[in-house]
Amino acid sequence: MSGLPLARVAPPPRAITLDLDDTLWAVAPTLVEAERVLGGWLAEHTPATAARLDAEVRAAIRRRLVAEHPGRAHDMSWLRRESLRHAMTEFGDDPRLADDAFEVFLAARQRVTFFDDVLPVLERWAGRYRLVAVTNGNADVERVGLGRYFSAAVNAHVFGCAKPDPRLFHEACRLAGVEPEATLHIGDDPELDVVAARRAGLQAAWLRRPQFAHRHPADACGEHAHGCFEDLHALDAALAAR
């Protein structure tokens, strides 16, 4: 699917909502580095936990937490903090240090590397549209350095539910002051971003960056997407052509 179908969508968007992780930056290297920074902190302050808290243990603790608190499954920050608290308790360290450990991780998690197209395109869009971030993760547009472009952000862990729940998209539209049918959502995930946004009544464009193209077949969105684009420049050009 090219960018051409976007030009035939009515009405033209007056607001744009944007996913963050793997849409504006690659999240995997960010999380790897944040885990490395957290590991260094744990080694210094909670050595017993640092020695035992590998990926398998973290996953097992998280599964238990989700099973015990299904209503918090959307809250990445809570899960991370409580996983640390459980690990520290289980391995004999002071669980009161979990809050400090989480803040170390969260600060490192905000140190992202934007894709090359992000800043120039957001600069243009901020003057033409109301921009709202919509994310299931715990990145913060202010802390990552994009706050000047966005009028608002809807984070799953703050709002209380996660994509694909339509309430997240409707809240973004409310904050933008624009009805869903005049709002374009952009994201990398065909289900959580494209299909979910369309079901919530928004327009939707799939950002299928080449480095992530292997994750989903080219037709993963079916007929839901109003366009499929390899970068924001191509999407910007399609919007400008309307």
| DSSP assignment letter at 125 | H
pLDDT at 3: 45
Q: Give yes or no for a contact between 106 and 168, defined as CB atoms under 8 angstroms apart.
A: no
Q: How far apart are CA 185 and CA 196, in angstroms?
A: 10
Helix axes 118-126, 232-240, angle to 10 degrees: 30
CA distances from 13 to 8, 35, 127, 170, 181 (A): 12, 38, 13, 15, 8
Q: Give yes or no for a contact between 194 and 221, defined as CB atoms under 8 angstroms apart.
A: yes
Residues 217-233 pLDDT 10s: 888 887 888 899 999 99
Q: Give yes or no for a contact between 109 and 31, defined as CB atoms under 8 angstroms apart.
A: yes
pLDDT at 173: 98
Q: How far apart are CA 166 and CA 196, in angstroms?
A: 7
pLDDT at 4: 41
Tokens of 163: 């994509």
* Closest to 154 in 3D by CA, of 138, 143, 145, 146: 138
Walking along the chain (242 residues) 10 residues at a time, the average pLDDT comes out as: 48 95 98 97 98 94 95 92 97 98 98 98 97 96 98 94 96 98 97 97 96 90 88 95 81
3-class SS of residue 16: strand
Domains and CATH numbers, the chain: 4-25+113-240 (3.40.50.1000), 28-109 (1.20.120.1600)
